[in-house]
Structure 1
Amino acid sequence: MSRPSVGECTPKNHIVFVMGPPGSGKSNFIDIAARQDGRTVGHGLESQTSDIQVVGVNHPTTGDSVVLMEIPGFDDSSKPDVEILTVMADWLIKTYKGKFDLATIIYLHCIVDNRMSGSLQKNLQLFKSLCGKEAMPNVVIATTMWRRVWGTEGEDREARLKSAYWANIIAQGCKVERFQDTYESAWHIIGHERKMVEEQAVKESDEREAEGNEIRQTKKSVFNFRNPRNISTTDRIVVVMGPTGAGKSNFIDVATGQDGHTVGHRLESQTSDIRTIRVNHPTTRKPVIFVDTPGFDDSSKSDEEILTMISDWLVKTYKRKLNLATIIYLHRIVDIRMSGSLQKNLEMFRCLCGQEAMPNAVIATTMWRRVWGAEGEEREARLKSKYWADMIAQGCRVERFQDTYESA
Structure 2
Amino acid sequence: MPHLFSKLRMRDVDFANRIGVSPMCQYSSVDGYANDWHFAHLGARAVGGAGLVFTEAAAVTPEGRISPQDLGVWSERHFEPLERIVRFIEGQGARAGIQLAHAGRKGSTYRPGAGNGAVPEAAGGWRPVAPSAVPFSDSYPMPDEMTVDQIHAVHGAFAAAAERAFAAGFRVIEIHAAHGYLNHEFLSPFSNRRVDAYGGSFDNRTRFVRECVAAVRRALPGRCPLFVRISATDWVEGGWDIDQSVELARQLLALGVDVIDCSSGGNVEKAEIPVGPGYQTPFAERIRREANVATAALGMITAPAQADQIIRNDQADIVLLARQMLRDPYWPLHAAQELGQVAPWPRQYLRAAPSGTPERAPAVARSDRAAQPVGT
Higher relative contact order (CA 8 A, sep 6+): 2
Q: Same fold (TM over 0.5)?
A: no
More strand by share: 1
**TM-score scaled by structure 2?**
0.31
Between structure 1 and structure 2, the one with the greater Rg is: 1
**TM-score scaled by structure 1?**
0.29
